[in-house]
Structure 1
Amino acid sequence: MPTLLSTSVLTPLRTPALRRLWAGQLAALLAAEIHLVVLAWLALDLTGSGLALGTVLVVGMLPRAALTLVGGVTADRHDHRRVLAAAHATRAAVVAALAVTAAAGGLRLWHLVAAGLALGAVTAFAAPAVHTVVPRECPPEQLRAGNALLRGTAEVVGTAGPVLGGGLVALAGTGPTLAAVASCYTLAFVVTASLLVRAPAGSPWRGTSAAAQPAPPHGTRGSLRRTLADLREGAAALRHDPFALRVLALVAAAGLALSGPVTVGVPWLARRELDLDAAAFGLLLSLWTAGSLLGVVIAGSVRRVPRWRVAMTTVAGVLVAALVTLATTPTLPVAAACLLAMGTAAGALNVLLVTWLQQRAPAEALGRIMSWAELAEVVVAPVSYLAAGVLLDASLTALFVGAAAVLLLGTLAVVTPGLRPTGAAVRPRPTATGASGSPPR
């Protein structure tokens, strides 16, 4: 008898190369979450200023927004293992320098700002490379499961990491905690770099499954003119692919509709409308997180998504209905049910959108296509926070109804008849050496 679930989200870990890359990413994600806690604590200890705290926490977004598209070019030019290994090593060095400075008693606010800028720049190059890992290491039939594995790992670490970080700061202090963060990044580097010494048997990078997932071309670093040309070609690939372009629009719409309402609107709902204490508020947020993890697992495990318009309309419909319900019936049971449903739908939506974009992207432009999705998330989040604050001054209803309208419009744009989620877009020229090994001119 056929079953609804075709595979587990853990199935991609049977691929040796992906297993090591996942382990490295797990260590790096844990380091990032712990570092966020200790960074906030240090900023308050050094200055006692809310403005300084906000500056330290958001400064890393600037280089990410400026360099993410260039990071996509890098992901297309170079082996993703090398990009990620270099990123982990750089992060380890930056945080180790902070740990040494803190131990010497010389840490100042500008050190935190400089480290934030450096780490943000590194993330701009690492994030597009992460999005290329699953398509280049997994069999095609495990693409959704692989994306669900990475997303689910981020959800779990995002929940447990801050708790662990707070405990480390309380028990050992900020200096040793920074040393622990540097150690996690070092572990991520060692695990990832081990693939460069000897690729595991069956790795696509050794050519044993090149027919399923051809390795991206390699080449030398291009000039500024070459980089700009590569950026234009990545944009052209999107411009000539209406479906991929509209999926990116939905990524932006979902970020705009959910980031601010959940991060800003839910605390307002809990405190001002429902008069909840901190424990009940934490429960509401945990329902969102639990739902998100559930949605990721479901999206990665179902046998197939036979009618993508039905799947997209259903997932977006759940989000829209939950947002409208929160706006019109703000009670604790309703809020709990809505946040669980919203988290589940949002987790599934993320896996589906990323998978469809990866399926659309030509192999030689995968990093550039995915960097646009990464950029959309980076740019939209602060806009959503600001818009949520402005709308809350009007009413909570205006915030949630407005978010529902944005998401509804984005979904309607994607499900327009005539667009298909399969097949590749216009193929730009390769960004590195071809089969002959000669660098491009």
Structure 2
Amino acid sequence: MSAAVLAAAPSRPAHRDPRVLRWLGAYTASTLGDGVYHLALSWAAVSGGTPAQAGLVLAVSAVPRALLMLGGGVIADRFGPRRVVIASDAVRCLVVLALAALVLATAPTLWVLAAVALVFGVLDALFLPAVGALPPRIAARDQLARVQGMRGLGQRAGAVLGAPLGGLAVALGGPGAAFAAAGLLFALSLPLLLGLRLRPLPAAPGAPARKDTALGDLADGLRYLRGHRVLGPLMIVIALGDLGFVGPLNVGLALLSDQRGWGPSGIGWILAGFGTGAAAASLLLGVKGRIPRAGAVLGWTMALGAVSVGALAHAPLLPAAVLLACSVGLLAGLSGALAGALLQTACDPAYLGRVSAVASLCSLGLAPLTFPVTGAAIGLWGTGPVFAASAAVCALAGVYGLLTTALRRAELPKG
């Protein structure tokens, strides 16, 4: 389906723009569906096999997501991000509803669950770059930072509410009911996306011609990224920040809570603190709309956030750990939203899908590889040294950004 393009209109605040609100509703529904689906898949896999087999099922989707992410960026640029997002959510809806019917009729084997996880990994590789490329097509350049803040609130809603909704559905009707709920949430996003009308993109001088092959498009996009004065360094900052950050948050907190005797509820409180800080950062950017000296603020928030990451391992009491996690969420949420806004405003629209794919690959493809390394390192040396090393990587990201003149001086457009 081709994207309809509206005539140029005066810029309006993103939170009052029907296009942005329609996109935000679709994105939030899809994110909630993702959370419910993953909870249902986890429960079905644990119920149908050993813990090791369940872990394998849950890990299957990471492989195609990492391998195909860059190709997903090429597809988003070739066919348009709106088409790709609609197709991805439509297929996810059909696959999950079919799985729900199968679960309600009979007990699916682990092979079936693994096949569904594999399909979702492929769809994620298409969906994530396209989602990253959509905001400039629905909002003016001076509103992109506000859109990133609103997107962050949608992500927080999905993270906070998705799993509990999935758990409630499992408790009431089993995994089949939870898969059905996820499918309905994916379905809810479709009419909102189908009604989305896109803004015209300004014709960039010297816009690149499309290559004959997808591989040529990919190579062209990587050359563009490597030679860009702002985007090239920004990708390094994103990669270093995520490599240093996700290990302690996803693996280290569980081991730290176990060592301190805080138990599972302690992990929940710490993650709630992180989520509160991240939501506050998203709300700040969504309301304010623009942060002056965005490149410099990005570097400083990453460097200061690294201090809180390192201090987490030394928190003697749970309330102190929750406050530190809130600080990490606030600073990481702000730096992440600024990085996304700078990416979208600095990038030539013709390359936005491919550039978004590289950023998503760093965050969701490569960074999770640190999970087993973090766990093994904590087993050898303890939480203190490992959290300190992770904090050093995060700090390196911020310092590199501050030392790179073009990135440090990067600004978001004024309204």
Q: Following the alignment from structure 2 to structure 1, what is the Cα–Cα distance between the partners of residues 411 and 283?
A: 25
- Does residue 180 of the first structure (1) align with residue 166 of the second (2)? no
Q: What is the correspondence of 1:142-291 to structure 2 with a 5 Å cutoff?
A: 142-195=143-196, 199=197, 203-204=198-199, 207=200, 210-211=201-202, 226-272=213-259, 274-291=260-277
**Aligned partner of 1:16 among 4, 15, 18:** 18
Name which of structure 1's ranges 230-239 and 411-420 shifts more when overlaid on structure 2: 411-420
Max Rg structure: 1
Letter in 1 for 2:150: L
Q: Give 2:3's aligned residue.
A: none
Q: Give 1:347's aligned residue.
A: 333
Letter in 1 for 2:70: L
Secondary structure of 1:107's counterpart equals coil
Q: Following the alignment from structure 2 to structure 1, what is the Cα–Cα distance between the partners of residues 77 and 395?
A: 33
CA 1:92–1:327: 2 relative to 1, 3 Å: closer
Q: Following the alignment from structure 1 to structure 2, what is the Cα–Cα distance between the partners of residues 411 and 280?
A: 29
Q: Give 2:320's aligned residue.
A: 334
Letter in 2 for 1:285: L
Q: Give 2:282's aligned residue.
A: 296
Q: Give 1:30's aligned residue.
A: 32
Q: Give 1:363's aligned residue.
A: 349
Letter in 1 for 2:17: T
**1:126 offset after TM fit, Å?**
1.0
**1:84 offset after TM fit, Å?**
1.2
Q: Give 2:8's aligned residue.
A: none
Secondary structure of 2:195's counterpart equals helix
CA 1:317–1:270: 2 relative to 1, 3 Å: same
- Does residue 391 of the first structure (1) align with residue 377 of the second (2)? yes
Secondary structure of 1:306's counterpart equals coil
CA 1:113–1:306: 2 relative to 1, 3 Å: same
Q: Give 1:80's aligned residue.
A: 81
Paired residues of 1:95 and 1:179 also in contact (CA < 8 A): yes
Letter in 1 for 2:134: V
- Does residue 374 of the first structure (1) align with residue 360 of the second (2)? yes
Secondary structure of 2:385's counterpart equals helix
Q: Identity over the aligned pairs, expressed in percent?
A: 28
Q: Give 1:400's aligned residue.
A: 387
Q: Following the alignment from structure 2 to structure 1, what is the Cα–Cα distance between the partners of residues 239 and 323?
A: 25
Q: What is the correspondence of 1:75-114 to structure 2 with a 5 Å cutoff?
A: 75-114=76-115
Q: TM-score, normalised by structure 1?
A: 0.84
Q: Following the alignment from structure 2 to structure 1, what is the Cα–Cα distance between the partners of residues 313 and 15?
A: 42
Q: Give 2:292's aligned residue.
A: 306
**Aligned partner of 1:40 among 42, 54, 64:** 42
Q: What is the correspondence of 1:101-140 to structure 2 with a 5 Å cutoff?
A: 101-140=102-141
Letter in 1 for 2:43: W
Paired residues of 2:72 and 2:129 also in contact (CA < 8 A): yes
Paired residues of 1:359 and 1:422 also in contact (CA < 8 A): no
**1:15 offset after TM fit, Å?**
2.3
- Does residue 418 of the first structure (1) align with residue 378 of the second (2)? no
Q: Following the alignment from structure 1 to structure 2, what is the Cα–Cα distance between the partners of residues 236 and 218?
A: 14
The ranges of structure 1 where at least 4 consecutive aligned residues each deviate by more than 4 angstroms after the TM superposition are: 210-214, 216-219, 421-424
Q: Give 1:432's aligned residue.
A: none
Paired residues of 2:30 and 2:89 also in contact (CA < 8 A): yes
Secondary structure of 1:173's counterpart equals helix
Unaligned runs of 5+ in 1: 1-9, 425-441
Letter in 1 for 2:97: A
Secondary structure of 2:292's counterpart equals coil
1:159-218 Cα deviation digits (max 9, x unpaired): 1110111011101122222222222212222321234xxx4xxx41xx5xx55999x999
CA 1:13–1:306: 2 relative to 1, 3 Å: closer
- Report how many residues are paired: 398
Letter in 2 for 1:172: G
**Aligned partner of 2:307 among 314, 317, 321:** 321
**1:303 offset after TM fit, Å?**
5.6
Q: TM-score, normalised by structure 2?
A: 0.89
Letter in 2 for 1:379: G
Letter in 2 for 1:102: V
Paired residues of 2:292 and 2:411 also in contact (CA < 8 A): no
**1:280 offset after TM fit, Å?**
3.4
Q: Following the alignment from structure 2 to structure 1, what is the Cα–Cα distance between the partners of residues 346 and 149?
A: 18
